[in-house]
């Protein structure tokens, strides 16, 4: 009996090993992360649920139409104030540009005047030097 029991235990172990090795392998598993599906997917139907007012899910921070209207008015008012501030700063910049242009034109005209004045002085000095040198030459020849 001992030989029979030992052979039966061997056959049990072999059959267990065969059972494990013959078991089909699992297909590769995908990670169990959330599956993202677009809202407009044809197989997806989004149903809005209605909850009684005393249900905690109905007390979520969702806004009603009055709140949305108030928030919309506040947003429009803020945008209008920002637009006015930007317009006034743009106007100030335009005025500053005009002032700088005016100063630039004035400086250019003054620069032109000084260039003409210096040019005139240089010509006069050259003429004066020429007349002096010619009179010296005349004196030295005499």
What's the whole-number mean pLDDT along residues 6-29? 60
| Residue 31 half-sphere exposure toward CB, CA atoms < 13 A | 3
Q: Indicate if the pLDDT at residue 10 is higher than 60.
A: no
Helix extents (H) in the chain = 2-22, 65-141
Side-chain half-sphere CA neighbours of 133 within 13 A? 6
Task: Tell me the average pLDDT across 77-91.
Answer: 97
* Most confident of the ranges 14-28, 33-47, 48-62, 120-134: 120-134
pLDDT at 48: 75
| Angle, alpha carbons 127-132-135 (nearest 5°) | 125
The token pair at 1 is: 């009996």
Task: Report the share of the chain in percent with pLDDT over 90.
Answer: 38
Output the average pLDDT for the chain.
Answer: 79
Place of tokens 């009179």: 135
């Amino acid at each position: 009996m001992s030989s029979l029991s030992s052979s039966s235990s061997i056959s049990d172990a072999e059959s267990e090993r065969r059972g494990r090795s013959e078991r089909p392998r699992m297909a590769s598993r995908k990670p169990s992360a959330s599956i993202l599906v677009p809202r407009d997917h044809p197989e997806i139907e989004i149903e809005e649920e209605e909850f009684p007012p005393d249900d905690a899910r109905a007390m979520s921070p969702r806004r009603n139409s009055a709140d949305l209207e108030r928030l919309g008015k506040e947003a429009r008012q803020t945008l209008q104030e920002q637009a006015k501030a930007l317009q006034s700063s743009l106007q100030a910049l335009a005025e500053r540009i005009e002032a700088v242009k005016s100063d630039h034109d004035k400086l250019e005209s003054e620069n032109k005047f000084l260039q003409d004045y210096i040019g005139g002085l240089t010509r006069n000095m050259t003429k004066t030097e020429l007349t002096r040198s010619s009179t010296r030459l005349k004196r030295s020849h005499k």
